[in-house]
Every structure is written in structure tokens, then in C-alpha cells.
Structure 1
Amino acid sequence: MDEHSTAAESINPKHQALIDRLSTRRSATTTSSDTARPVADFLSSFASSKLSIEQSLSESRSRADLDHISSLDLDQSSFDSASSSLLPRKKFSFRNKPQKKEEDPKNVAEISVEPSAIDKISSLSVRDGPGFRNEKDTTLVKDFRQCDVGQGEFTLSDLENCRVYLKGTVRALFFYRIRNCQVFTGPVLGSVLIEDVSDSLFVLASHQIRIHHAKATDFFLRVRSRPIIEDSNRVRFAPYRLTYEGIEDELKESGLGEETGNWANVDDFKWLRAVQSPNWSLIPEEEWLEIADISQCK
């Protein structure tokens, strides 16, 4: 037996043992087609490599060639490592994998049809009860001292190019969608709420005044608390400028007899900076409205 045959015989038992061991593993892991395929591929690749080594061995002519071929012979640990990398392993997964929360179609629909701020203003439901509504190019007068509305609520909505005179005391006033109007009112015992007005003038006396979505409008106020504006711009403020017979007594009885100066202390709820809000300003004294006497308005 020559040197090459002896070397081949010493290599073959090792390869055969590896093949036997991998075959045993293969039989233990062939419980499904998914696990059998990687092992079969490995064995096929290994058989081809073995055949190539044996062919090179038989054709070798020197010890150097044999050493070169022997270097191709991976040791036991290398084969184990290679086979373990090819053998199928159980896929890793989190047992409690968090599921992505699906978007509620109902919520998505609600968001997609959310009306704009202007739409919300336009769709404001006007309060029921006494008031002036849907008037244009006219003068409107109400004396609460001569009707059942006194001490109640009064609503003005959808007025355009009107002059409005309200005498006597009322508990609350509500304004909606007022355009190019002039409004003069006596004392309000509670609050005044103004929504969506433009290019108008208001002369009001009240304990609380809140103004939403107003633009290019002047307000002449006597108010116990600081007036509040929101989503408004180009609004201006000055002191109350109204008189009629008996108004001084009504102002005193309503707790509005004294000028507080709060007409100049406006709170802009949408302006959070320390500097003056650009949305409102004070009317220069030379531009103040002359005191309006509406005693004869009927």
C-alpha cells in the first residue's frame, strides 16, 4: 500500500463517521418537509466536497499535494459548527408579542369629517326664546322695562346692516353672526356672549363679556371683569358711551354704577406670550364714540 492510499484510508473513516452522525441527525429532524430540505442540501454539498477531495488525493504526486488536500479536511468542531448552522432551528419569537392596535374605522371617519372652525361657527345653534333674528337693513328697538323679557335672556342672530337699541335691564345677551351693525344696550346682570361678528360696533355694560371669532369690530364697554377674546383680530376697545332716561339707576342696581377700567384690560386666550397681543388694541381717545342718547328710540 503506497503513501497516498494510506492517507486516503486515514481520511475516509473520519468523513464516514461525520456522514453517519449527520445522517442520524437528519433522521431525527425530518419530522416535516421544512426541516428535511436544509439537511439534504448539506449532505449533497458534503458528498460533492468529499468526492472532490478523494479525486484530488488519487491524483496527488507529492507530499506537498497531500498536505494541501489535508488542509481541506475540517476538524470535528468545524464540521459540527457547519452542520449546526445548516440544521433547521426553531424560529425565535416573542411569546407575548405586542399586537399593533388597529385604527378604529369609526374614529378615522370622525376625524376625516371634522368640520373646520368656520363650519362650526356657521352651524352654531341659536338659542330659543326672545330675540331679533334674520334681519337686514333695519332699526331694531327693545325696551325690557315694558315687556316680560326683563331679567331674562335675549338673543340677536344673523343681523346685517342693522342698528339695534336695547333699553332696560336683561339677565344675559347672546349675539351670533352679526355683520356691519351698531348695537347699543343697557345693563346686563350676568354675561354677554358674542360669536362670529365683523365690521360692527358694540356698546355694552355687563359683569362678564366673552368674544369669539370677532374681526374689525369696536367695543365700548363697562365690565366688572376683564373682557375675554378668542380667535379674534383687529378688535378695539374703549369705555362705555351710552345714555338714556333712567340708565344711571339701572347701572347702579346692576352693580355696574362705577367705571372699573377693565375695558382696557383685555385677555386674549389664544395669545400666551408675555408681550401685548396683536389681535386687540385700545381706541385712541380722539376716536371715541360720542355718548349716544337713545332716550327717544322706540
Structure 2
Amino acid sequence: MAEQRILGEQFVAQFKERRSNIESLAESGKGTPGEYESQVTALRAELTASMDLLTGYNQRQLDTQLKALEQKVREAKASAKPQGKFSFKRMKPVAKPVVASSSSSTSAPATSSLVPSTSSGHTIFSLSNSCITFASLNSEPGADLLLSSLDHCLVNLIPASADLPPPTPVLGSIHARALRHTVLLLPVIPGSVFLEGCTECLVVVGCHQLRIHASENTTVLLQVNSVPIIEHCRGISVGEYPAVLRALVLQDSGTTFDSKHAEMQDFNWLQGGQSPNWNRISAESATSWDDRVRRLMQQAQGPIADTVLGL
């Protein structure tokens, strides 16, 4: 679909920029081998999570470029002296990926913003002042979810106990882009979550890995198994997954909560100390967030007023 093609093109451009930034930083000799290795690892995870957005050609091209970068990092790390700087020579330019197009693939405009993907995923896009619930999803359990261009929306995908027997995962991975004044109430999933271009949002989710890019003034209530990463962000507040939802998850699947949300890393803050671009929510504030989440979970599907979200 057109929306997925556009998002794929955006990811290709972002990937190219991220790869170039890693190369430039490594050439400058700043940072440590571990820092650059972690950035490349994060880029690999991001590419893996975004494969459904890409054409087969772009999948192969980006994978080839990243493998070359991974090899350069390994070689530079192996040859680095204990007290020396970590750097490597710039890679030769790789042919620019292009998005294949075909006149035969043109289809009629979608009549709904809740569009099942032609792959195993589900897409929700271009909505405002709406509440979307788990019951509106038509995809198979464990499918990936793409959210894009939502404004003043509530997306509540916490299933009732009877909707999905444990231990079946509700969703696989989640990609959210261009969200404004929007609340995401999401379950604990086995995959990754990638947020980009989120402004004045509340995101509640449990996942294996979280990456936030180019977002601001957004609160994330999080259960995460690996260290979450932000880049080009400001005003990010981080707290633990709400108690009201933890109780549901523990009751349904026996999930344990050993979260690393408080260990968030900012790729734009390489010096020591706490990054000014994110802060941890206090224990006192956590209670008020629990109350807000509990109230939002009662909202029925359909149109909503701006004041419902409380953002």
C-alpha cells in the first residue's frame, strides 16, 4: 500500500544517515569500541524490525551495507590497542538503494484507516480524535503492527483475558511514526518497538527492545528486557510499566518483570553523567500515571474529544 511504501522510503533514508553517522564518528576517533559496536547492533535490530516496510531489493541492499559496516567494526576493534583510539577508514560508497515500483501494483484508495497489511502485519494510519481497541484488529496473533500519522488518538490494544489465551503473543513488533498528542496502551510483546517523530505522547508498552528517534515531550511507561535507546530526542520521561497492567500480564502469562527502563542510553550524549534529554519518573508520580491508565482503559471505541487523553 502507498502508506507502507512511503514509510519504507523514509526508513531507507534514515538508515543511510545512521550508517553515515556511525562511520563519521568512528573516523573521528571519538568514543570506545563498545559504544560503536552497540550502535551498529542497534542499527541491525532496527533493520530487522523494519523489514516488512522494505522491498526485497532494499532489504538485500541495506543488509549488505550493514554487514560491511559490522565487519569494519570487528576489524577495527580487533586491531585497536588497549589505550588507543578506535577508528576505521571510510567504506567505499555503495550504490544508492531505490524503491522498485510497478504500474501494475497500483490499487484503489483505502476506505479505512484500519488496513490489514498484505503481509503478516497490520496498519493503523491517518486518524484523529479516535479510540482504537484490540477488537478492531483483524490480524493474526503475533503479527507486527504499524502506526502512522495519528493525532489526538487513543490506541488501546490491551486484550481482555478471554480474547487471547496465553501464552499466545498479541503482537510481534511495533513501529510508530508521526504521532501527536496520542496515547498507546500496548501489551507486553516478544519483539521490538520503534518510535519516531512522536510529540506530546504517552506510550505504555512491554517489549524486548525499545528505540526512540526524533521525539519530544513524550512519556514512556516501559517494561524492557534490553537497554532502551534514544537518539535526537528531548523531554523523554521514563517510568515502569503500570501496576494495573502488570497485574493483568502476570495473571495471564506468568511474565516476570526485570526491566531495564532506568538504564536508558542517549546516543547524542557521549559524555559522562545523566543525559538532559530524558528523566526517570518518580515513585510519587507513578501512582498518578497508574490512575490515568486505568481511566483510559475504560474508553469505548469511536470518536473522542481532545480532553479525554489528558495530555
**TM-score category (smaller protein):** 0.5 to 0.7
- Determine what percentage of the aligned residue pairs are the same residue: 24
Q: Distance in 1 between matches of 2:228 and 2:187?
A: 17
Q: Distance in 1 between matches of 2:215 and 2:146?
A: 17
Q: CA deviation at 1:219?
A: 0.5
Residue 256 of structure 2: aligned partner: 258
- Match of residue 274, structure 1, among 272, 275, 279: 272
- Match of residue 167, structure 1, among 158, 169, 172: 158
1:139 and 2:131 correspond: yes
* Other structure's SS at 2:209 match: strand
Q: Distance in 2 between matches of 1:187 and 1:295?
A: 19
- Equivalent residues of 1:159, 1:179 under 8 A apart: yes
Query: What is the root-mean-square deviation of aligned Cα atoms in Å?
Result: 3.0
Cα–Cα, structure 1 residues 224 and 143, in superposed 2: closer, same or farther, change >3 Å? farther
Larger % of strand: which? Answer: 1
Residue identity matched to 1:214: S
* Other structure's SS at 1:258 match: coil
Runs of 4+ in 1 over 6 A off after TM superposition: none
Cα–Cα, structure 1 residues 232 and 196, in superposed 2: closer, same or farther, change >3 Å? same
TM-score (norm 2): 0.50
1:158-190 CA-partner distances (Å, limit 9, x unpaired): 000011101242111110100001110012111
Residue 194 of structure 1: aligned partner: 195
Q: CA deviation at 1:251?
A: 4.9
Residue 235 of structure 1: aligned partner: 236
Q: Distance in 1 between matches of 2:196 and 2:51?
A: 11
Q: Distance in 1 between matches of 2:174 and 2:145?
A: 5
* Other structure's SS at 2:290 match: coil
Residue 109 of structure 2: aligned partner: none
- Equivalent residues of 1:233, 1:279 under 8 A apart: yes
Residue identity matched to 2:148: S
Q: CA deviation at 1:247?
A: 2.9
Q: CA deviation at 1:286?
A: 2.0
For structure 1, which runs of at least 5 residues remain unmatched after alignment? 1-115
- Equivalent residues of 1:202, 1:218 under 8 A apart: yes
Q: CA deviation at 1:250?
A: 4.7
Residue 130 of structure 1: aligned partner: 122
- Equivalent residues of 1:126, 1:176 under 8 A apart: no
- Equivalent residues of 2:250, 2:256 under 8 A apart: no
Residue 148 of structure 2: aligned partner: 157
- Higher relative contact order (CA closer than 8 Å, sequence separation 6+): 2
**Considering only CA atoms, is the larger Rg found in Structure 1 or Structure 2?**
1
- Equivalent residues of 2:156, 2:186 under 8 A apart: yes
Residue 62 of structure 1: aligned partner: none
- Equivalent residues of 2:131, 2:299 under 8 A apart: no
Cα–Cα, structure 1 residues 270 and 249, in superposed 2: closer, same or farther, change >3 Å? same
| Larger CA deviation: 173-182 vs 277-286 | 277-286
Residue identity matched to 1:236: S
Q: Distance in 2 between matches of 1:248 and 1:141?
A: 21
* Other structure's SS at 2:208 match: strand
Cα–Cα, structure 1 residues 296 and 244, in superposed 2: closer, same or farther, change >3 Å? farther
Q: How many residues align?
A: 174
Q: Distance in 2 between matches of 1:244 and 1:135?
A: 29
